[in-house]
Structure 1
Amino acid sequence: MTKGKKFLAYGFLTVVSILSVFPLYWMMVAATNKSVAVSRGTLIFGTELLNNTKKLFASQNVGAALGNSFKYSIVMTLVSLFICSIAGYGFEIFHDKAKDRIMSIILLAMMVPFAAIMIPLYQMFSRANLLNSTLGFILPSISTPFLIMMFRQSARSFPVDIMEAARLDGLNEFQIFCLMFVPTMRSTYAAAMTITFMNAWNSYLWPKVIMSDAGSITMPMMVANLKSGYVTDYGTLMLAVLLCTIPTVIVFFLLQKSFAEGITGAVK
């Protein structure tokens, strides 16, 4: 590559990087300014961060929202990884035509919008007394077609010879899964964990439907509450959005390398 092409490439990547980071920068700037300054589009950090923090904690139960979001997201992530990885492992390792048909039906479920099944789900959960509960939050999403498909694709690269040797050594299928499959698919688990945690953390519609108790509020619900009044304090709103964004940003950057490897199907 010539110097001119390198200059154009790096220049293009620099511009794209700035455009990608700008929303996060503007959100941090807005969290430190008054609502009027935010409406004017200021791009300079202000001195209202402490006041906006006081307003936010005075108007909303931030501690409960953060605690609930972490609890729901962590539990949902752990359960989803366990169930979907076992399902993907079973669909590929014990492969036959019947399982291919079942997998096709599961993949067709991805075409059904959640809004189409939300009302029947609510009726079922209401009769089962699962409203305002962790189980009610995570149950509709603990098994997703995308994660099952991703683990199934990763299981295709799992060495069959190793499994046969392990069976000859006396290991059962669950031991092979836990002791050999899980460590080998670290990158796939990292990618699935990132996707599941972010989806659970940012979930709004289903929690809004089943979480009627004020003590069950999540971070996205808290942010929505700040816009429900007649007058919106944009400084406080942007501070709440910033607090809601930070955990997902941290999780993504910590698992960025493994996420890329897992999405591309790399196995170590």
Structure 2
Amino acid sequence: MIKLKTALKYIFLIIVSLISVFPLYWMAVSATHTSIEVIRGALLPGNYLFKNFANLLAASDVSGAMTNSFKYSIVMTVLALFICSLAGYGFEIYHDRAKDAIMSVLLLAMMVPFVAIMIPLFQTFSKWGLLNTTLGFLLPTISTPFLIMLFRQSARSFPHDILEAARLDGLNEFHIFLRIFIPTMKSTYASAAIITFMGAWNSYLWPKVIMTEKTSITMPMLVANLKEGYVTDYGILMLAVLLCSIPTVIIFFLLQKQFAEGITGAVK
């Protein structure tokens, strides 16, 4: 009876896994077919991949969009991790009621939809001359309440005895943060890096508003542009979606173990 239950569990998990993976498989297979074959629902790989790739390069600036996406996402990830971890560290290590009140305000800010502040942001950034700039892309989301809360929760498991020992050894607070806190919280940084990179890479609405020139286009914007017009080549579209998905998939698989540890608050 126990073996039967175990077998049924594995069968269920296999079926659910196949259902979850199927969209990715269909996307990859569709990139190797013509638009008509994609519409017909082809499920086996075709031989139109290189032709679709050539057509995609001819129709769009893929290299420019990929470069912009990598540039924005990497800079966003590095700056967001440093700023949010420093804020989370300060909120917890130097804890008091005033900081709790500020943190509550930050968490309440998460309830405000971005579209509610998008127009004022655009008007402000336009006056400041930040359209089509990396800084204009970064500023609205360079620090998020979620990441600050994530690092604050992780800092609660940080041993305070180490802080006292480091202070006795003559380290100042910023050196303690750089030399002790950051290396100790590697799993949290990994999970935050995945969340930030994927969010920046997949961001569409704000870049669409702030990036008004074709040279500033990102991969999600490129994919959206392929759907414009009266006729859509689904083979090219699926190839563009595949290229857009590969970096985030690689990042997640490389850091998935640290991601799980960071989310659960594990500290090594």
Q: Please report the TM-score for the alignment, with normalisation by the length of structure 2.
A: 0.99
Q: Deviation at 1:150? A: 0.3
1:78 alignment partner in structure 2? 78
Partner of 1:135: 135
Which residue pairs with 1:96 in the alignment? 96
- The corresponding residue for 1:214 is 214
SS in 1 for 2:212: coil
SS at match of 2:85: helix
What residue in structure 1 maps to residue 233 of structure 2?
Answer: 233
Could you report, residue by residue, the CA deviation over 1:12-59 in whole angstroms, capped at 9, with x for unpaired residues? 110011011100100011000010110111101111101100110000
Q: Which runs of 5+ in 2 are unaligned?
A: none
Within 2, Cα distance between the matches of 1:84 and 1:142? Answer: 8
Q: Following superposition, which runs of at least 4 residues in structure 1 exceed 6 angstroms of deviation?
A: none
Deviation at 1:229, TM superposition (A): 1.4
Cα deviation, residue 2, structure 1: 1.4
> How much has 1:191 moved relative to structure 2?
0.2
Match of 1:242 in 2: 242
Amino acid at match of 1:185: M
CA distance in 2, matches of 1:38, 1:134: 37
Partner of 1:252: 252
2: distance between equivalents of 1:193 and 1:258?
10
> Which residue of 2 is the match for residue 187 of structure 1?
187
User: Given the alignment of the two structures, is residue 125 of structure 1 paired with residue 128 of structure 2, yes or no?
Assistant: no
Which residue matches 1:150? 150
What is the identity, as a one-letter code, of the residue corresponding to 1:26?
W
What letter matches 1:182 in structure 2? I
Number of the residue aligned with 1:26: 26
TM-score (norm 1): 0.99
- Deviation readout 1:53-99 (Å, 9 max, x if unpaired): 01100000000000000000000000000000000000000000000
The offset of 1:135, in angstroms, is 0.5
- 3-state DSSP class of the match of 1:111? coil
- Alignment partners' CA distance in 1, 2:82 and 2:193: 11
Map Cα deviations across residues 232-251 of structure 1 (whole Å, 9 max, x no partner).
00000000000000000000
Task: Name the residue aligned to 1:64.
Answer: 64
* Whole-angstrom distance in 1 between the partners of 2:16 and 2:83: 38
Task: Determine the C-alpha separation between the residues in 1 that align with 2:79 and 2:224.
Answer: 27
SS of corresponding position for 1:260: helix
Q: Percent identity?
A: 72
Read off the aligned partner of 2:234 and give its amino acid letter.
Answer: Y
Partner of 2:173: 173
| Number of residue-to-residue matches in the alignment | 268
Question: What amino acid does structure 2 have at the position aligned with 1:170?
Answer: G
Specify the code of the residue in structure 1 equivalent to 2:250: I
Which structure 1 residue ranges, 5 or more long, are not aligned?
none
Q: Deviations over 1:182-226 (max 9, x none)?
A: 000000000000000000000000000010111000000000000
Alpha-carbon distance between aligned partners in 2 of 1:23 and 1:74, rounded to the nearest angstrom: 27
Matches of 2:266 and 2:16 in 1, distance apart? 27
Partner of 1:44: 44
Alpha-carbon distance, 1:5 to partner: 1.0
Secondary structure, aligned partner of 1:45: coil
